[in-house]
Chains A and B, each alone.
Chain A
């Protein structure tokens, strides 16, 4: 893929947690105005990648550039003004638990703008309407289901009309109806507002349906990339196994461990 029209460009990124190498020299680009999906089994480091892109954690080597700015060398002030134009949807939603749904969505607007309360109200209700939760505005976060909380978090993430949104597992915990709406919503946000989207997910079908470009991660490396068709027709065993959800193949279901029988038969302290 060409690297000229990239909003985000990750070069030779290496990152480890303790002894465990999460990323081993990966490079990838996120094209402007497109939906890019990052897929891979759970525990491969998808969330970690988003945190690296957001500048919350620092790589051991390599660079992450957004709009030509190196995220990890920016001064705090510049990083914050960059983040103002990035939305991030956390896996857990990360709603503020001492405020109701309405105030959560209004939060970034109140913190970053000088809009009047009536303008904020209009914006908040529009965003909540888009995620189908306008009627839930007075609920507290602990009264929401996981799927609803994530939709509120999405409304909050788009409150400031960012140039880019990072979605961490947006489809998990959604029922079929809200799933379809959400897929539609992500797609239309992208086309109507011209957003750049990064979707991290292991829901193969939904992601394939809306992504323009897909990266498949496994064991710290990019094992496949391309448009949805290219990925579907990929010859790579890894990619095929992941797409079809086959239990056997180059990707293992098990976290690295010693031989099972031997493990059961040895009795000594670890």
Chain B
């Protein structure tokens, strides 16, 4: 019993310790963010590898999720005779929930893990130390551009995901199941609210992008500089990002849409 308590205490202390360290790290990164915009070339390189290279997985996933939503939605809605609402249902689920959440999860797996591994390996091969000894701050030169790139990419990828998902829903709903094309779009247009739905979705994606990129960069930067350490850090990036995304999604949803 005492053992369990000690262990619990130790883990709690460790978590707080980590929280403090990652907070300090974030502070340093934020200080470096201003300089990123003076070096557009560094930023565009990262936007390419973090954002553009994620296009494929986001597009394909968005398409399939939209198609499945449409199939499932049609099945339920048609039992009430409300097939015309299919467009709203697909669009609202995507814009409010699935778009931001699934994009963040996919982004953590595709780009976050890559960021962690890259920075962890740079640390393990003394590239970061080498930079420090050349009087070049690795947080400014290496970490900050990647952070900004993540921050910009995630909301854009989320919009892409939702847009493609709505098209996927259209393909299945209108193309295969015979929902009326006009009502698919019209209902969507009249029922979705710009502030309530779209803007809140964008806010979610901004928060998720911030947190996932922060986790990925922190795990890489603080990785134990060995092959084992880097592999552990990569795993932690994906797992912690998933927890953070899902947890924050609940909180944000409650704040935005719930009357709590």
Contacts and interface: CB of A to CB of B under 8 A. Distances in A.
A255 B129 CA distance: 27
A94 B137 contact: no
The 4 closest A-B pairs by CB, nearest first: A94-B130, A83-B135, A94-B126, A80-B135
B125 interface: yes
A111 interface: yes
A112 B135 contact: yes
B135 A97 contact: no
Interface string B117-131: 000001001110111
Contacts of B133: 54, 56, 83, 86, 88, 90
B129 A111 contact: no
A95 interface: yes
Given A96-B131, A108-B134, 14 more contacts: A80-B137, A83-B135, A84-B134, A84-B135, A90-B126, A94-B125, A96-B127, A107-B136, A108-B136, A111-B134, A111-B141, A112-B135, A153-B130, A156-B134
A11 B87 CA distance: 75
Contacts, number: 47
B193 interface: no
A92 interface: yes
Interface of A: 51, 54, 56, 80-81, 83-84, 86, 88, 90, 92, 94-97, 107-108, 111-112, 153, 156
Nearest to A94: B130
Contacts of A80: 135, 137
Nearest to B141: A111
A94 B127 CA distance: 5
Contacts of A56: 129, 132-133
A90 B129 contact: yes
B136 A94 contact: no
B135 A94 contact: no
Contact residues of B: prevailing secondary structure: helix
Interface residues on B, range: 10 to 19
A83 B132 CA distance: 8
Contacts of B127: 94-97
Contacts of A112: 135-136
Interface of B: 122, 125-127, 129-137, 141
Contacts of B141: 111
30 contacts: A51-B129, A54-B133, A56-B129, A80-B135, A80-B137, A81-B135, A83-B132, A83-B134, A84-B135, A88-B130, A88-B133, A90-B130, A90-B133, A92-B126, A94-B125, A94-B129, A94-B130, A95-B127, A95-B130, A96-B127, A96-B131, A97-B122, A97-B125, A97-B127, A107-B134, A107-B136, A111-B136, A112-B135, A112-B136, A156-B134
A51 B129 CA distance: 9
A156 B141 CA distance: 17
Nearest to B137: A80
Nearest to A111: B136
A156 B136 CA distance: 13
Nearest to A92: B126
A96 B126 CA distance: 9
Contacts of A97: 122, 125, 127
A204 B122 CA distance: 32
Contacts of A86: 133
Contacts of A94: 125-127, 129-130
A67 B97 CA distance: 60
Considering residues B130, B131, B134, which has the most beta carbons from chain A within 10 angstroms of its beta carbon? Answer: B134
B33 to A, nearest CB: 17
Contacts of A88: 130, 133
A262 B12 CA distance: 42
Considering residues B122, B131, B132, B135, which has the most beta carbons from chain A within 10 angstroms of its beta carbon? Answer: B135
Contacts of A108: 134, 136
A55 B127 CA distance: 16
Nearest to B142: A96
Contacts of A83: 132-135
A80 B134 CA distance: 8
A111 B142 CA distance: 13
Contacts of A90: 126, 129-130, 133
A81 B135 CA distance: 7
Contacts of A92: 125-126
Contacts of B134: 83-84, 107-108, 111, 156
